[in-house]
């Protein structure tokens, strides 16, 4: 599919209403002078607009309409084959000093970077339409909500932003009524979708983002990783709240007692799946509901607890592996109104991917647009193929998802993809130790970003690619939040991905993660035991309910919960090495936590 579209000529009345906001108007004019679009389309978020843009995107071959009977209201987009994931090596934090970005971020000097980007953007939209997208992140009446404007020359971005954010006039109204007048300016241009001219640059001081040369979600839906996390985390530190790469779920017991939990797992490590979990049969009467599947904005509320909102309005989820067996709620969500990217197209206009229920089709068009049969050695869907779907489609959407002050968080869970070392679950001693658990998180890399897959790397709080400032300072910010909470969440660490000697996962995961969640809730309620290990509180085998599990024997459970001194010796070395890279910005408390764990192993 050719993603570089010529200018569109909308019918009268569509795309012609600019917001009456001087700052926005001036900025748009400035970008238009630079990029020289044929025309400007002001998005209002209306259904008519969406219908028109979908037709136009089809006409230009940017999206393909799927079979209306099989997947109503749904479309397939293929991104450029060189452009299928986030590009961390081309992602920059442009703070005045390198120290502000810290050693874990790519840094570039702001003035020089603006100059360079302006050079690339000069005339970049000639003969094309420039879209201006107003949007809000967060429930509109939330004190945490943020307004952003994204300029883009990609219809796919407009269609996606309408799903992923609260887009259109609602954002303009919010900005007009806002006290501080704060808004994010995002500029995106596909250029020629050339990896050599691909840059995702953040200017936290200016609340600004410029992204060029890509058309892939995480690089171009500037609301998501760019605003909600990189710029968000920067603002959160200034303003005293937290912007985190976390899902938010509600869990209700058969007695009707409800808790909310937030969990940070790195990209493609199970957030969407956990957020939509369906409890196994044994857990009759338990209900899990989704507040968010990727990002949490959390503030200290009047009740002295940490409250979280999901800033997004939709899910941009990993497709491969999604099935009725692994995640029936996701399957129900994506059976209509879905914008698919880089999955396979069947001959009857349906979509297919590795891990979908049922037999593979005898023939399909793969994510690159080539013929595919089950005999093909290549994947039909890209491993990082995605769905974008409105959160309203989720059958287990939490009723409090629009609540402005957010939902009270009882537990925070950190977790990574680790073949060894990390037990299925354990609990931190307190907030400071929990911050240490988050700070030392590591995970095997996945297809969500370009680069090698399966390599263990430190990914503190799952924020390594998303923290908009110095990681050591970010830890300091975390350490300050805990003591300000009257009733801080308990902090846990999980690992669904531990493997046995045969190289297979020891834990079946997915719905069965409810068993771990139950232990976590019971810990919050103080009604279940644990063993005090050097690393924290680890459940004893009898503390976890494994009744009805076929593949988890008590020996397997013991293995899943084991804390092996030799593995931990290596782990502690890896943690120390990582901490050293952070230099003097690393809070002393975290070094002390590290030494305490090491000492506990020795005694
Ligand atoms: P991003 O959208 O990239 O942030 O990913 P995510 O954290 O939401 O991950 P997601 O839930 O989409 O899962 C990613 C991959 O992990 C999929 O291939 C899932 O099938 C797999 N996965 C999720 N949960 C589990 C689990 O409990 N066990 C195992 N073995 N795999 C899981
Ligand atoms: C992730 O990579 O963590 C995602 C997908 O959630 S993206 O929006 O591309 O960042
Ligand atoms: Mn993510």
For 269-278, what is each residue's pLDDT tens digit?
A: 999 999 999 9
Question: Distance between CA 157 and CA 154 in Å, rounded?
Answer: 5
Q: Which atom of ligand 2 is nearest to the CA of 449?
A: 2
The percentage of the chain sitting over the pLDDT mark of 70, rounded to a whole number, equals: 100
248 CA to middle of ligand 3, Å?
A: 13
Per-residue pLDDT of 132-154, as tens digits, reads 999 999 999 999 999 999 999 99
Q: Which atom of ligand 1 is nearest to the CA of 326?
A: 20
Question: Distance between CA 548 and CA 288 in Å, rounded?
Answer: 19
Question: Distance between CA 499 and CA 507 in Å, rounded?
Answer: 8
251 membership: H or E segment, kind and range: strand 247-252
Q: Which residues are catalytic?
A: 269
When the pLDDT of each residue in the chain is averaged and rounded to a whole number, the result is: 97
Bridge partners of residue 415, in order along the sequence: 494
Per-residue pLDDT of 376-401, as tens digits, reads 999 999 999 999 999 999 999 999 99
Ligand with the closest atom to the CA of 268: 1
Helix/strand/coil for 237: helix
Within 6 A (CB) of ligand 1 lie 265, 267-273, 293-294, 317-318, 320-321, 326, 448, 496-497, 505, 509-510, 513
For the chain, the structural domain boundaries read 22-61+84-240, 244-314+398-602, 316-390
pLDDT-based confidence at 482, cuts 50/70/90? very high
Task: Give Cβ neighbours of residue 18 (< 8 Å, ≥ 6 apart).
Answer: 24, 25, 28, 40, 42, 132
Per-residue pLDDT of 250-267, as tens digits, reads 999 999 999 999 999 999
Task: Give Cβ neighbours of residue 313 (< 8 Å, ≥ 6 apart).
Answer: 163, 164, 165, 166, 167, 390, 391
Per-residue pLDDT of 156-204, as tens digits, reads 999 999 999 999 999 999 999 888 899 999 999 999 999 999 999 999 9
Angle 225-268-204 from CA coordinates, rounded to 5°: 15
pLDDT at position 2: 53
Question: Distance between CA 204 and CA 197 in Å, rounded?
Answer: 22
232 CA to middle of ligand 2, Å?
A: 15
Asked whether residue 5 carries a pLDDT value surpassing 90, the answer given is no
pLDDT at position 132: 98
17 CA to middle of ligand 2, Å?
A: 32
Class of domain 244-314+398-602: alpha beta
Asked whether residue 3 carries a pLDDT value surpassing 80, the answer given is no
pLDDT at position 603: 87
Q: Is the domain covering 316-390 a CATH 3.20.20.100 domain?
A: no
Task: Give Cβ neighbours of residue 315 (< 8 Å, ≥ 6 apart).
Answer: 272, 293, 294, 330, 333, 387, 388, 389, 391, 394
pLDDT-based confidence at 127, cuts 50/70/90? very high
First-last CA distance in the chain: 62
The pTM assigned to this predicted structure is 0.98
- Report the CATH superfamily, name and number, of domain 22-61+84-240: Phosphoenolpyruvate Carboxykinase, domain 1 (3.40.449.10)
Residue 126: count other Cβ atoms within 10 Å of its Cβ: 11
* CB under 5 Å of ion ligand 3: residues: 267, 294
pLDDT at position 177: 87
pLDDT-based confidence at 282, cuts 50/70/90? very high
Cβ(382)–Cβ(342) under 8 Å?
A: yes
**C-alpha atoms less than 13 angstroms from C-alpha of 12 in its C-beta half-sphere:** 0
Question: Distance between CA 253 and CA 234 in Å, rounded?
Answer: 37
Write down the number of H helices and E strands in the chain: 16, 31
pLDDT-based confidence at 63, cuts 50/70/90? very high
Q: What are phi and psi of 441, to 5 degrees?
A: -50, 145
């Amino acid at each position: 599919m050719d993603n570089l579209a010529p200018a569109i000529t909308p019918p009268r009345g569509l795309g012609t209403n600019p917001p009456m906001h001087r700052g926005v108007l001036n900025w748009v004019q400035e970008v238009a002078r630079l990029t020289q679009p044929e025309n400007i389309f002001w998005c209002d978020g209306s259904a008519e607009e969406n219908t028109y843009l979908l037709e136009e995107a089809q006409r230009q071959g940017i999206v393909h309409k799927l079979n209306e009977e099989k997947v109503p209201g749904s479309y397939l987009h293929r991104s450029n084959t060189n452009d299928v994931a986030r590009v961390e090596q081309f992602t920059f934090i442009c703070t005045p000093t390198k120290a502000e970005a810290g050693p874990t971020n790519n840094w570039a000097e702001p003035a020089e970077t603006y100059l360079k980007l302006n050079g690339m953007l000069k005339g970049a939209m000639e003969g094309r339409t420039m879209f201006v997208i107003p949007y809000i992140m967060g429930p509109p009446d939330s004190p945490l909500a943020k307004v952003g404007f994204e300029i883009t020359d990609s219809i796919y971005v407009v269609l996606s932003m309408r799903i992923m954010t609260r887009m259109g006039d609602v954002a303009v109204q919010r900005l007009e009524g806002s006290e501080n007048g704060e808004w994010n300016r995002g500029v995106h241009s596909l250029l020629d979708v050339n990896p050599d001219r691909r840059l995702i640059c953040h200017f936290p001081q200016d609340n600004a983002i410029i992204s060029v040369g890509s058309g892939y979600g995480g690089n171009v839906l500037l609301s998501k990783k760019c605003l909600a996390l990189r710029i968000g985390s920067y603002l959160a530190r200034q303003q005293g709240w937290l912007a985190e790469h976390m899902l938010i779920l509600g869990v209700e017991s058969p007695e009707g007692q409800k808790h909310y939990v937030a969990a940070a797992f790195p990209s493609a490590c199970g957030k969407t799946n956990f957020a939509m979990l369906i409890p196994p049969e044994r857990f009759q009467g338990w209900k899990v509901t989704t507040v968010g599947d990727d990002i949490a904005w959390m503030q200290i509320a009047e009740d002295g607890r940490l409250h979280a909102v999901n800033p997004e309005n939709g899910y941009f989820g990993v497709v491969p592996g999604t099935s009725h067996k692994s995640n029936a709620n996701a399957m129900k969500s994506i059976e209509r109104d879905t914008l698919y990217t880089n999955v396979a197209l069947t001959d009857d206009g349906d979509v297919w991917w590795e891990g979908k229920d049922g037999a593979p089709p005898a023939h399909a068009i793969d994510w690159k647009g080539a013929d595919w049969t089950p005999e093909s050695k290549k994947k039909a869907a890209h491993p990082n193929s995605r769905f974008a779907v409105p959160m309203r489609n989720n059958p287990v959407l939490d009723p409090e998802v629009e609540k402005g002050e957010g939902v009270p968080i009882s537990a925070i869970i950190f977790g990574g993809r680790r073949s060894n070392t990390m037990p299925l679950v354990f609990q931190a001693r307190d907030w400071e130790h929990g911050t240490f658990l988050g700070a030392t998180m590591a995970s095997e890399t996945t297809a969500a970003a370009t680069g090698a897959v399966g390599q263990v790397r430190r990914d503190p709080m799952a924020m390594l690619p998303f923290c908009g400032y110095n990681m050591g300072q970010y830890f300091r910010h975390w350490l300050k939040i805990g003591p300000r909470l009257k009733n801080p969440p308990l902090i846990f660490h999980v690992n669904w991905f531990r493997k046995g000697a045969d190289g297979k996962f020891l834990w079946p995961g997915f719905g069965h993660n409810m068993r771990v969640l139950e232990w976590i809730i019971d810990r919050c309620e103080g009604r279940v035991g644990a063993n005090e290990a050097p690393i924290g509180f680890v459940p004893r085998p009898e503390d976890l309910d494994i009744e009805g599990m076929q593949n988890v024997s008590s020996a397997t459970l013991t293995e899943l919960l084991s804390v092996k001194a030799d593995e931990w010796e290596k782990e502690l070395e890896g943690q120390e090495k990582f901490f050293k890279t952070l230099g003097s910005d690393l809070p002393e408390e975290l070094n002390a936590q590290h030494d305490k764990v090491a000492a506990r192993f020795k005694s």
